[in-house]
Amino acid sequence: MSESTGRPATLQDVAEAAGVSLATASRAINGSARRVKEPLRLRVLEAATRLNYQPNLQAQAVARGRTSVIGLLVHDIADPYFAEIAAGVSEEAERHGLLVTLASTQRSPEREILHLAGLRAQRAQGVIIAGSRFDDDALAARLAAEIELFRGSGGKVTLISQDIHDADTVRLENRAGARALAVRLARLGYRRFGFLTAPRALITSTERLEGFLEGLEAAGGGEVVATAVAEFTRDGGYDAMTEILESGPEVDCVVAANDVMAVGAMSAMRDHGVRPADQLAVAGFDDIATLRDLSPALTTVRFPLLEVGRMAMTMLLDEAEGTRVRRVRGEVIVRETTPARS
Amino acid sequence: MSESTGRPATLQDVAEAAGVSLATASRAINGSARRVKEPLRLRVLEAATRLNYQPNLQAQAVARGRTSVIGLLVHDIADPYFAEIAAGVSEEAERHGLLVTLASTQRSPEREILHLAGLRAQRAQGVIIAGSRFDDDALAARLAAEIELFRGSGGKVTLISQDIHDADTVRLENRAGARALAVRLARLGYRRFGFLTAPRALITSTERLEGFLEGLEAAGGGEVVATAVAEFTRDGGYDAMTEILESGPEVDCVVAANDVMAVGAMSAMRDHGVRPADQLAVAGFDDIATLRDLSPALTTVRFPLLEVGRMAMTMLLDEAEGTRVRRVRGEVIVRETTPARS
DNA sequence: CTGAAAGCGCTAACAC
DNA sequence: GTGTTAGCGCTTTCAG
């Protein structure tokens, strides 16, 4: 089938097999500035395939002084929000021949910083940090410092979340989206809202709550009469909803800070004999693809996550000067869980 | 805050700052066989933190001859099936200080092979290939060859799917799970089944169909009166279901080859005025976490995907001789979409 | 226990 | 055009 020496073929092996110098082999295989004459080039290429040669990327990296890996930091890859972003990133990375190193921080800001240092060690060309920033100045300062170090080692950083760091960011307009949702729900006739949020530390959740409050004010009607705080997950949504159902005031619509929480909330409602939509309206944020088939269908504020992932990757690769912020609007999508109130 | 030379600090810099040799610095920082006396060691470590030193992983890799990256190949990271597996893998990788390079093949077996070659170029320590194998001997042979090359370059391979390759594999017992599901559904009183599958090329889907047929036979009642083939995705489920609804024979239960397809199927049913569970039973496979809150709740064959991801990673790290196959059973979970027939 | 020096596989001057 | 050679940043003999 092919030669097998027990160790991967090196460029040296290829050069010898083709009867040329190391340099020529190198030039032939990845076309440097200098060109290699056709016959030689073919001989080298032929030897390379015959030996199943694959360039040692690590060696190339140290010789060239830069790698072709980019890092992707997410809170939790099992969360469809991040999985969709990751799909966009990885798709775009592939188009550019880049490898993506994935790190899931388990929602810990400390780990986020640690992983960023790890990516610096890997001399990643760039890193995309996805997920809500944390409302904690000390933490933010430490991340900022690590970002600075990452840059110092030649890497680029792009954030997907809030533009609170001096770095390119794809900023999701949570506040505006929430505002629009509030206006829309008020217009549908809802007045007494319950709001399920993640702990204040997660800025995304806070932005959504605040935007919602602003929206209600603008609409001149309706108020949030209950707020429940829990994890930014399905279980968190379940718990928060349970709290409101069991000890909160009467509400006619519940808004969760994201779709995943909304789904948990709907389950809690059912477990308490409350039918979503019919007896209590529900809305969320994100428009997670796998949840578009819920029944009753969930009203939500859609963010194009796949596209967001692609955008982040594109910004990362773009060598523009100065830090840019690319705003992504949320689109309110009214579905069955928020029927017009008679 | 700290020195800044405009380029990342090298071990050489650290050594000089600490007034020791390169070798000593190296030994102090990652404790080689030889130990360094405490005072020196501390001086080096202090210098390292002061300079914000991060070892150049690429350089270490070429010097040591091995990297600390492992590759993860999935069909589509946006699919919750793979996202959950990825979460398990990444969690376990982190525990071992390994970096994971993620590649999404977009369900293309060709790309799977290409990416595997890429991971060989990266000299990944190992690779986990997740996702159904393809029913195509030529393709399988090419993958096998590439696996062999990957091994030849010192890497380990673990598959998550069918054990058709000579490599460690976490094998999902699709057939047995499907059999059990069939028996259970027959016992619930269902007789005329529709089955939604992915194209035959995807072995997982085929195994589930065949197992289901076997189960019906064993149960001595019921038959699959309609089979519809479509993509192994939500949209595929929608399309396949539509086909059966519009031109298929009457069925009393529809089984989809996975939960994601089942969800699409339920949407198709609703769009045709058919209420899932009440008018037509539905079941799937996998027990995707985000879909556990569907209403009516979906009957499914549960596979512990997070755990499967962890297992694959553990096998990859385990230096046992010979190739091992770890079987993972599916557990039938009857929920609301398959009520007992009166 | 510490230092000097020879690689690891590759790229990029620098010569011819 | 092609070959020689000096690094890239690190590990690991081999001396002392």
Per residue in B156-178, pLDDT (tens digit) is 999 999 999 999 999 999 999 99
A322: pLDDT strictly greater than 90 = no
Pick the range with the lowest mean pLDDT from A318-327, B109-118, B187-196: A318-327
Residue range A97-104: mean pLDDT, rounded: 97
Residue B4: per-residue pLDDT:
52
Q: How far apart are CA A1 and CA B179, in angstroms?
A: 41
Listed as ranges, the nucleotides of chain D within 7 A of a protein C-beta are: 1-5, 7-13
Give the torsion sign (CA, B251, B337, B333, A336). positive
Task: Specify whether the backbone of B330 is left (phi greater than 0), alpha (psi in -120 to 50) or beta.
Answer: beta
Q: What pLDDT digit, counting tens, does each position of A274-321 carry?
A: 999 999 999 999 999 999 999 999 999 999 999 999 999 999 999 888
Half-sphere exposure of B181 (CA within 13 A, CB side): 40
> Helix axis angle, B80-95 relative to A80-95, nearest 10°?
90
Residue range B63-79: mean pLDDT, rounded: 97
Of B67, B103, B145, the CB nearest to A90: B103
Q: What pLDDT digit, counting tens, does each position of A152-174 carry?
A: 999 999 999 999 999 999 999 99
Residue holding tokens 């049913």?
Answer: B269
Half-sphere exposure of A93 (CA within 13 A, CB side): 31
B260: pLDDT strictly greater than 80 = yes
Query: Which of B14, B51, B58 is the best residue to mutate to test the A interface, defined by the most A CB atoms within 10 Å of its own CB?
Result: B58
A1: pLDDT strictly greater than 70 = no
* Stretch 78-137 of chain B: residues touching chain A, C-beta under 8 Å: 78-80, 83-84, 86-87, 90-91, 94, 99-104, 106, 117-118, 120-123
- Chain A window 25-84: residues with CB closer than 7 Å to nucleic chain C are 26, 29-30, 32, 34, 53, 55-56, 59-60, 62-64
Token pair in block for residue B277: 């569970």
Residue A4: per-residue pLDDT:
52
Query: What one-character-per-residue DSSP string does A56-120 give?
Result: -HHHHHHHHT--SEEEEEES-TTSHHHHHHHHHHHHHHHHTT-EEEEEE-TT-HHHHHHHHHHHH
Q: What pLDDT digit, counting tens, does each position of B296-314 carry?
A: 999 999 999 999 999 999 9
Q: How far apart are CA B160 and CA B73, in angstroms?
A: 10
Residue A5: per-residue pLDDT:
54
CA of B14 vs C1' of C1, distance in Å?
Answer: 19
Percent of chain B with pLDDT over 70: 99
A35: pLDDT strictly greater than 90 = no
Residue range B48-77: mean pLDDT, rounded: 97
Is the peptide bond preceding residue B296 cis, with omega within 30 degrees of 0? yes
CA of A9 vs C1' of C6, distance in Å?
Answer: 21
A137: pLDDT strictly greater than 50 = yes
Residue B1: per-residue pLDDT:
42
B186: pLDDT strictly greater than 70 = yes
Q: How far apart are CA A323 and CA A168, in angstroms?
A: 5
Query: Which of A53, A75, A92, A102 is the best residue to mutate to test the B interface, defined by the most B CB atoms within 10 Å of its own CB?
Result: A102
Residue B5: per-residue pLDDT:
54
Residue B2: per-residue pLDDT:
47
Residue A23: per-residue pLDDT:
95
Single-letter code of the amino acid located at B35: R
A89: pLDDT strictly greater than 50 = yes
Average pLDDT, chain A: 96
User: Does the CB of A30 have a partner CB in chain B at under 8 Å?
Assistant: no
Task: Establish, for the pair of chains A and B, how many residue pairs have beta carbons separated by less than 8 Å.
Answer: 177
Q: How far apart are CA A132 and CA A35, in angstroms?
A: 48
Q: Which residues pair with A233 in a beta bridge?
A: none
CA of A35 vs C1' of D1, distance in Å?
Answer: 8
